[in-house]
Chain A
Amino acid sequence: MEKRTDKNSYTILFAIVMVLIVGIILAYSASALKPKIDENKRLEKQQNILYAMGINQNDEKSVAFIPTNKVADEFSKYIKKQIIIQGDKVTEDDKAYLIDLKKEEAKAKNASYQRRLPLFIGEKDGKTFYIIPMRGKGLWDAIWGYISLDKNLIVQGVYFDHKGETPGLGANIKQRFFMDDFAGEHIVDGTTFKGIAISKSNADPKNEDKLDFEVDAIAGATITGNGLAAMIKKDLGMYMPYLKTIKN
């Protein structure tokens, strides 16, 4: 005799019930947890921005952010101004850090849309930092980051992160040994914007030459490195018209 579970009617019924149950569980947990997840992401953005301007709790080797319970206060203390650059128009907006770069990039494909570029101006010990968010493509998925410049357009600090780069290789872009190399690098040669290349052959592993527009690459992570250099070139490039006005 045929087993009960082999019947077509049973199979179809089972599939329907299973999909309903799993669907309800997933939909419920996604919508119930969304506010909490969004809040975590918002605080992370603040932590990243502060990190790029050197406000963190780093020790010798590891990356340590301002703790989440303090980050909101620190953020309002150090970030003096948030602006949105849209063509020649510059507006102030204290929610500028929430602008979704991915959506802006998608909208900008429509030629009539003037892309909104958020920029954060921070102040620490009397020094002004200009912090620029960036977003690009790594090997597997998105990479993004923040770069802070002083008024001479010299890099003061960076923070990089990624969605799914290979652990141990491309994922190391968010490690100190890589990010710390960027501090002090120049991005403009006279008045020409150069960006920062990720170089496998710069023969400067200690990164002493800050005027070569290069930092040392990570072994085994060529494509992530190229993606990162392209991201800096493209996203920082969009800010150059504005940044040139601050350079004295």
Chain B
Amino acid sequence: MGLLPKKDAKLITDPLLDNNPITIQVLGICSALAITAELKASIVMAVAVMAVLAIGNVVISLLRNVIPSKIRIIVQLVVVAALVIVVDLILKAFAYELSKTLSVFVGLIITNCIIMGRFEAFALANTPWRSFLDGIGNAAGYGLILIIVGFFRELLGSGTLFGIPVLGDPIEKTGVYAFGYENNGFMLLAPMALITLGIIIWVQRSRNESLIED
């Protein structure tokens, strides 16, 4: 990337693959299972997490020298909870439709371990600008996995993408359904999200063996 110095660019590109928050750091699994039955929900969640993580990282980084280490986890929790609630209130007042779409995600963001994980592992020890990039990078890596899982779950589970049927009509038996194909309702349940995620981790580690731990 020409826009950023190499060291800073790595903050964005690393979490996309070799240090992916979900598949390598194992952070944010719960929400990856909960909301990936649909591609649209995956993208909304990815964007919401990106906003909160980037801003939260900057706030924590600015406060890093004054936060007492004994209560730092509590301080992090308060910062992210306050941030999310204020944003939610503002959306409810000025963008009511959007806030309705996001409503269920708000609680999921506050409890998302990726947020606390990055505050603790990165923002407490780095400058605001680098923390901001780290937030964007990790949220992008998280979003990427969400979108991949969401894509397969929606396609195989409902035969749609973004709610638009792409495989034909399962009731009228058109498209691939004419050949006896059926939607796999199991894909819509949480266990299949875990299995899909497992397959992604498998593919990733078999392509890059340095990621395999003993």
Contacts and interface: CB of A to CB of B under 8 A. Distances in A.
Nearest to B75: A18
A8 B158 CA distance: 56
B85 A26 contact: yes
Contact of B154 (A10, A14, A168): A168
Contacts of A214: none
B68 A26 contact: no
A44 B69 contact: no
A182 to B, nearest CB: 17
A171 B71 CA distance: 38
B86 A6 contact: no
Contacts of B89: 29-30, 33, 37
Contact of A10 (B34, B68, B183, B185): B68
Given A26-B85, A37-B89, A167 B66 contact: no
B111 to A, nearest CB: 13
Given A5-B66, A6-B68, A18 B38 contact: no
A168 B71 contact: no
Q: Which of A5, A10, A61, A167 has the most CB of B within 10 A?
A: A167
B95 to A, nearest CB: 10
Contact of B96 (A10, A26, A40, A163): A40
B82 A26 contact: yes
Contacts of B65: 5
A168 B75 CA distance: 34
A6 B65 CA distance: 11
Contact of B71 (A15, A40, A44, A163): A15
Interface residues of A, dominant DSSP: helix
A220 B71 CA distance: 41
Contacts of B144: none
Contact of A164 (B38, B82, B107): B107
Interface residues of A, number: 33
Interface in A36-94: 36-37, 40, 44, 61
B185 A33 contact: no
Interface in B60-96: 65-71, 74-75, 78, 82, 85-86, 89-90, 92-94, 96
A168 B38 contact: yes
Contacts of A40: 92-93, 96
Nearest to B94: A36
Contacts of B69: 5-6
A239 B149 CA distance: 45
A166 interface: yes
Given A18-B75, A26-B85, 9 more contacts: A5-B67, A14-B67, A22-B82, A164-B107, A166-B104, A168-B153, A206-B171, A219-B158, A219-B188
Interface of A: 5-6, 10-11, 14-15, 18-19, 22, 25-26, 29-30, 33, 36-37, 40, 44, 61, 140, 163-169, 171, 175, 205-206, 219-220
- What are the 7 A-B residue pairs with the smallest beta carbon separation, nearest first? A168-B37, A168-B38, A167-B41, A220-B188, A11-B68, A36-B93, A219-B185
27 contacts: A5-B65, A6-B68, A6-B70, A15-B68, A15-B71, A18-B75, A25-B86, A26-B82, A29-B86, A29-B89, A30-B89, A33-B89, A33-B90, A37-B92, A44-B96, A61-B163, A163-B103, A164-B104, A167-B38, A167-B41, A167-B105, A168-B188, A171-B41, A205-B171, A206-B171, A219-B157, A220-B185
